[in-house]
Amino acid sequence: MIRQPEPAQSSDRTQAPRTVDVVVVGGGFFGCQVAALARKYADKVVVVEAADRLLTRASYHNQARVHNGYHYPRSILTALRSRVNFPKFCADFGDCVVSDFDKYYAVAREQSKVTASQFATFCQRIGAPLEPAADQVTRWFDPDRIEMVWKTREYAFDSLKLAERMNQLLAEHQVQVQLSTVAKHIEPDADGVRVQLHHALGAVETIRARWLFNCTYSSLNFVLAAAGRPPIPLKHEITEMALVAVPTELHKVGVTVMCGPFFSIMPFPPRGLHSFSHVRYTPRAAWLERDGLPYHTGLPLQVADFKVRSAFVLMQRDAARYLPLLRQLEHVDSLWELKTVLPQSEGNDSRPILFRPDGLWPRLVSVMGGKIDNIYDLPREIADLFADHRRHSDDLAH
Amino acid sequence: MTSLTDSQIPARSGARNSSTFVSVVAVLRDVAADVQAKVRQLWEILHREYDNFEIVLVDDGSRDRTLEQVKALLPTHDCLRILTLSRAFGREPAVAAGLDAAIGDVVVVVDLDTDPIDSIPELVAMCCNGSGSVVGTDPTRTGESAVQRIGATVFYWLAQRLAGIDMIRHTTGLVALSRPALGALLRIREQAYHPQVFLPYIGLELKTWAYRPTGRIKANRGLFHSLDRAIDIVVTGSLWPLRIVSWASVLAALVNAIYLIYVVLIALFKSHVAEGWTTTSLQNGAMFFMLFVVLAVLGEYVGRVLTESRRRPTFVVRDEYNSSVVVQAEQRRNVVNESR
Ligand SMILES: Cc1cc2nc3c(=O)[nH]c(=O)nc-3n(C[C@H](O)[C@H](O)[C@H](O)COP(=O)(O)OP(=O)(O)OC[C@H]3O[C@@H](n4cnc5c(N)ncnc54)[C@H](O)[C@@H]3O)c2cc1C
């Protein structure tokens, strides 16, 4: 099913464009999910991915946390939603979920937006398991800076295994995957779109599709610009997450300090290391994309375009004040990614899914999930979309 | 420091120190006029000297445009942090807030108006060799009146001789603290922040560094303020006034007892007692005097006990703003150009 890029000589000018039902641009976790779901309603589905493998961008460059609500003391709805999704995700992707470590949440004394008692009350309200950490664990922390430490239940996913699963899923659903291919020029027409695909080896092919799903996360507006459509307001942040080797005490341990300019460290299964992020130092430059502001319309930004100097030293100095064991961290590597959030969800930490048919060309649909487990809202949206359309075309037929 | 901004950055002198992480803390209060230039200058020095540094600016409830002015630097200067306090708490609590937030191996507290910021590397070097700290002093007491100077001398003498407070003299507020010293200082969770008293108490390696500030230092502004601080330091540093007063009361009680015996003996052995008004009133006066002194001192300590036991925060941080060095427009256009 997987088509590798074709040599340059097979120019599209010689043949009529290939026609499919659905083109999904972006082979991240969301693109794969959308493609598999779309197969219920469409025969020919193609996923177009710029990289030479699936799930190499944000779906790989992240903290791999399977959210269980703890993270959102300021957005109880998001927290409750996470609580509902957590068991589903663990059941559906059990072989991709790593749970053999202890996850601790701690609340800081100064500059924290929640107090220990507020956090405990919050967890009780959302029904998230919480028990005071053992004394020997609490002793790791500086008591002058940390008010309270709890043991919680939160897991990590292995994004390499997820990628493996997505390969299988797309094969099972007979979705065609076109790797090393960038969707560059999009022309909406009467009954769908024409997409110009640029293969890494230089070949250019135009295909026609009745639907186009734009699942490109940080490149959403690049694709919209390629279709001559105005951008969706988005905030982008250059982010760095350090990959570190931890001292033995922390091998099977994850720690998150709430809720303010603090840090989080937890196992990163695909590399056998820990990922280490810091609310103050992980985001670097940030910018806003929306209509009227100059925004990026060139190639989708690659990691090399925005990678800057590592801030590991800053993260470590700060975090070691709370958890002195972190002085022994060894910096191995960093994951760089553009984090993209909807401006409206910035303040309250809610990470809603964006599902947005274009205003003028409703068959051009942009999809963005703020976190991995947000997929459970997708089936409904996609079903509605195709149902609406069917009703609409039935009306036209009569 | 990010590669994206390297183009705008002046050339670095070859030898940057990459092993020490330096934090510089400065308190800002209504300094909108020249704060930008000063922070820029500070940033340039640090950037030239260190691979890893941060500037922690604490806005102590400024009422002018200070905060706006420094926030305008965030998009172009990395490693800047701004803490705003919820109201004006005063210099000492504001410094304490900055120290609490700083993450460096060495933390330097400077006054941007009066301290020679080019000397920061020297201070850092002095403190880096050990686990200690360096305290800036100004033995000439630049810009102070004769009364204040005499007052200071008397105060230091009294504090040393009578109260036994081992204190660094003529401090300006400039300090450089290594992480261990800072840790110990922060652990003294008292309401007041007086490094000139606490650092000798902590006892880690301590050096002084004499210099002439470029102006009158703010910490010593005004006679009344100085007196206020003197009382604060004495009360913070020792139980001496309380002890003296206790002894005096014991003495007064003894005198009283003798006087009572005297009265009783007179009553027993003298037949005509038409005694003088003088002794009675003298004794009354003396006793009341004692009483009020005792009350005053007790009041001071009770107040202290109360504030300590309430554990009210010394400062409240309202917000924190951090550098967000934006990808420069030119560079973004570069990326665009490559695609055509
Ligand atoms: C630092 C960070 C930490 C995070 N932590 C967590 C976490 O702990 N837990 C969690 O659940 N979520 C987390 N997230 C969020 C999560 O990573 C994203 O929500 C999720 O990965 C988005 O998946 P996606 O498929 O939409 O995007 P991606 O995986 O980025 O997929 C988009 C794909 O589109 C491709 N593409 C782009 N343009 C084109 C084009 N023109 N033609 C062809 N292909 C194109 C890209 O190559 C890419 O593969 C984090 C995100 C970041 C950045």
pLDDT digits (tens, 9 = 90+) for A1-18: 555 555 444 444 456 788
Same domain, A327 and A245: yes
Phi, psi of A271 (to 5 degrees): -110, -5
Of the two residues A363 and B9, the one the predictor is more confident about is A363
| Residue A195, ligand 1, Cβ within 6 A | no
Residues B156 and B278 grouped into a single domain: no
CA angle A276, A278, A282 (to 5 degrees): 95
Say whether both A16 and A135 belong to one domain: no
SS3 category, B181: helix
The mean pLDDT value for A158-169 works out to 97
Residue A208 lies in a domain: yes
Q: Would you state the pLDDT for residue A3?
A: 57
Q: Assess whether B184 and B325 both reside in one domain.
A: yes
The string of pLDDT tens digits covering residues B129-150 is 667 899 999 988 888 888 888 8
CATH number at residue A282: 3.30.9.10
| Same domain (yes/no): B218, B245 | no
The reply to whether A252 and A290 lie within a common domain is: yes
> Do A299 and B338 count as a contact with CB atoms less than 8 A apart?
yes
Residues A125, A41 share a domain: no
- CA A81–ligand 1 middle distance (angstroms): 20
How many Cα atoms within 13 Å fall on the side-chain side of residue A132? Answer: 9
Please give the distance, rounded to the nearest whole angstrom, from the Cα atom of residue A79 to the centre of ligand 1.
21
Q: Is residue A274 part of a domain?
A: yes
The verdict on B286 and B320 lying in the same domain is no
More confident residue, B201 or B209: B209
Give yes or no: residues A265 and A335 share one domain: yes
Nearest CB to B100; choose among A110, A238, A314: A110
pLDDT at res. A61: 96
Of B103, B329, B337, the CB nearest to A314: B103
Which chain B residues have a beta carbon less than 8 Å from that of A297?
336
Tell me if A85 is assigned to some domain. Answer: no
Nearest-5° Cα angle at B136, B131 to B139? 140
Interface contact flag, A285 B2, Cβ < 8 Å: yes
- Tell me the residue range of the domain where A278 lies: 100-154+234-341
Q: Please state, in angstroms and rounded to a whole number, the distance separating the CA atoms of residues B254 and A83.
A: 75
Tell me, yes or no, whether A382 and A393 share the same domain.
yes
Q: A312 to chain B: nearest residue by CA?
A: B52
Q: What CATH number is associated with residue B139?
A: 3.90.550.10
A306 and A168 in one domain? no
Instruction: Give the ligand 1 atom nearest the CA of A241.
Output: 1
What pLDDT does residue A166 have?
A: 97
Look at residue B12 and tell me if it is in a domain.
no
In this structure, is residue A87 part of a structural domain? no
Q: Looking at residue A304, what is its pLDDT?
A: 80
Atom of ligand 1 nearest to the CA of A64: 8
Q: Is the pLDDT of residue A313 over 60?
A: yes
**In the predicted structure, residue A181 carries a pLDDT above the cut 80:** yes
B337 CB neighbours in chain A (<8 A) are 298
Encode pLDDT of B182-199 as tens digits: 888 887 766 667 888 888
Under 8 Å between Cβ of A70 and A60? no
Q: Provide the mean pLDDT of chain A.
A: 90
Start-end of H helices in chain A: 29-38, 76-92, 116-126, 135-138, 159-172, 220-226, 303-306, 312-322, 378-397
* Number of structural domains in chain B: 2
Nearest to B2 among A287, A296, A308 (CB): A308
- pLDDT value of position A68: 95
Task: CATH number of the domain at A180, please.
Answer: 3.50.50.60
Q: Which of B1, B3, B4 to mutate to test the interface with A (most CBs of A within 10 A)?
A: B4
In a domain, B235, yes or no: no
Give the number of other Cβ atoms within 10 Å of residue A12's Cβ: 15
Compute the C-alpha angle B185/B188/B191, nearest 5°. Answer: 110
Q: Which of B2, B103, B339 sits opposite A318 (nearest CB)?
A: B103
Q: Are B52 and A314 a contacting pair at CB < 8 A?
A: yes
Residues B304, B326 within the same domain: no
Residue range A170-188: mean pLDDT, rounded = 95
Is A317–B105 a contact, with Cβ atoms under 8 angstroms apart? Answer: yes
Residue A51 C-alpha to ligand 1 middle, in angstroms? Answer: 12
For residue B332, list chain A residues with Cβ-Cβ distance below 8 A.
294, 296
How far apart are the C-alpha atoms of B267 and B257, rounded to whole Å? Answer: 15
Amino acid B28: pLDDT: 95
Cβ separation B336–A297 shorter than 8 A: yes
In this prediction, residue B334 carries a pLDDT of 28
User: What is the per-residue pLDDT across B49-77, written as a single tens digit (0 to 9) for each?
Assistant: 998 899 999 999 999 999 999 999 998 89
Higher pLDDT, B320 or A182: A182
Indicate the pairing of strand B50-59 with strand B17-28.
parallel
Q: Are A1 and A54 in contact (CB under 8 A)?
A: no
Please indicate, yes or no, if residue A77 is contained in any of the structural domains: no
The better pLDDT of the pair A112, B228 is held by A112
Of the given ranges (A55-59, A298-302, B98-102), which has the lowest mean pLDDT?
Answer: A298-302
In a domain, residue B8? The reply is: no
Residue B70 falls inside a structural domain: yes
Q: Are residues B292 and B144 in the same domain?
A: no
Q: How many CB pairs under 8 A join A and B?
A: 63
Pair (A142, A241) in one structural domain: yes
- A376 within 8 A of A353, measured Cβ to Cβ: no
Per-residue model confidence (pLDDT) at position B219:
60
Same domain, yes or no, for A176 and A131?
A: no
- How many domains in chain A? 2
Same domain for B70 and B216, yes or no, is: yes
Q: Does the pLDDT of residue B330 top 50, yes or no?
A: no
Q: Is the Cβ pair A298, B339 closer than 8 Å?
A: yes
Q: What is residue A142's predicted lDDT score, i.e. its pLDDT? A: 94
DSSP code for B77:
-
Residues A228 and A168 placed together within one structural domain of the fold: yes
Which residue in chain A is spatially nearest to B74 when comparing CA positions?
A285
- Rounded mean pLDDT of B252-278? 75
Domain contains B3: no
Alpha-carbon torsion (A83, A84, A88, A91), positive or negative: positive
Q: Which of B38, B33, B92, B98 has the alpha carbon at shortest distance from B64?
A: B33
Residues A97-116, buried b or exposed e (16+ Cβ, 10 A)?
bbeebbbbbbbbbebbebeb
User: Considering chain B, what percentage of its residues have pLDDT values greater than 70?
Assistant: 84
Judged against a pLDDT cut of 60, whether residue B8 lies above it is answered with no
Q: How far apart are CA B319 and CA B63, in angstroms?
A: 16
Q: What are the b/e assignments for A18-48, b being 16+ CB within 10 Å?
A: eebbbbbbbbbbbbbbbbbbbbebbebbbbb
Among the listed residues B196, B219, B231, the one whose alpha carbon sits nearest the alpha carbon of residue B143: B219
How does pLDDT run across A86-114, given as a tens digit for each residue? 999 999 999 999 999 999 999 999 888 88
**CB neighbourhood size of B336 (10 A):** 14
User: Domain for residue B11, yes or no?
Assistant: no
Q: What is the pLDDT of residue A70?
A: 95
Q: Which has the minimum average pLDDT: A150-154, B43-47, B86-90?
A: B86-90
Q: Are residues A150 and A244 in the same domain?
A: yes
Distance CA A384, CA A375 (A): 15
Give the least confident one: A237-251, B20-34, B295-309: B295-309
- Does ligand 1 lie within 6 Å of residue A59's CB atom? yes
Q: What's the token pair of residue A61?
A: 């460059």
CB distance B22 to B119 below 8 Å? no
pLDDT at A274 over 70: yes
d(CA A319, CA A325): 9
Q: Is residue B201 part of a domain?
A: yes
Same-domain check for residues A125 and A7? no
Q: Within a 13 Å sphere around the CA of A267, how many CA atoms are in the beta-carbon half?
A: 23
Query: How many Å from the N-terminal Cα to the C-terminal Cα in chain A?
Result: 38
Q: Do residues B127 and B48 share a domain? A: yes
H helix count then E strand count, chain B: 11, 8
**B192 and B271 assigned to the same domain:** no
Return d(Cα B338, Cα B340) in angstroms, integer: 6
User: Would residue B273 count as lying in a domain?
Assistant: yes
Q: Do B326 and A286 touch (CB under 8 A)?
A: yes
Pairing of strands A234-245, A330-341: antiparallel
Percent of chain B with pLDDT over 90: 30
pLDDT (0 to 100) of residue B229: 80
Kindly report, residue by residue over B9-19, the tens digit of the pLDDT: 344 445 677 77
Judged on CB neighbours under 10 Å (0-12, 13-18, 19+), A83 is: middle
Say if residues B135 and B207 touch (Cβ distance below 8 Å): yes
**Rounded to the nearest whole angstrom, what is the distance from the C-alpha of residue B206 to the centroid of ligand 1?**
52
Distance A233 CA to ligand 1 centre (A): 17
Same domain (yes/no): B54, B199: yes
pLDDT at A80 over 70: yes
Asked if residue A223 belongs to a domain, the reply is yes
Cis peptide before A96 (omega within 30 of 0): no
- What pairing do the DSSP bridges indicate for beta strands A253-258 and A102-108? parallel
Q: Looking at residues A277-297, what average pLDDT do you find?
A: 80
A311-315, A329-333, B117-121, B283-287 — which is least confidently predicted? B283-287
pLDDT band at B326 (very low <50, low <70, confident <90, very high): low
- Residue A339 beta carbon below 6 angstroms from any ligand 1 atom: yes
- Domain, as residue range, for B284: 240-310
The conformation of residue A36, written as its DSSP 8-state character, comes to H
**Which of chain B's residues have a Cβ under 8 Å away from the Cβ of A280?**
81, 320, 322
**Beta-sheet pairing, A204-214 with A364-368:** parallel
Would you state the pLDDT for residue B252? Answer: 80
Question: CA of B200 to nearest chain A CA: how many angstroms apart?
Answer: 22
- Asked whether residue B140 falls in the same domain as residue B80, the answer is yes
Query: Cβ of B332 and A296 within 8 Å?
Result: yes
SS3 call for A245: strand
Establish if A95 belongs to a structural domain.
no
B252 and B271, same domain (yes or no): yes
CB contact under 8 A, B100 and A283: no
ipTM for this model: 0.71
The per-residue b/e assignment along B67-95, b for 16 or more CB within 10 angstroms, e otherwise, is bebbbebbbbbbbbbbbbbeeebbbbbbb
Going by pLDDT thresholds of 50, 70 and 90, the confidence category of residue B244 is confident
Tell me the three-class secondary structure of A197-219, residue by residue: EEECCCCEEEEEEEEEEECCHHH
Task: Tell me the pLDDT band of B218, cut-offs 50, 70 and 90.
Answer: low
Spell out the residues 6+ positions from residue A348 whose beta carbon is closer than 8 angstroms to its own: A74, A75, A78
How high is the pLDDT of residue B4?
37
Q: Could you give the percent of chain A with pLDDT greater than 70?
A: 91
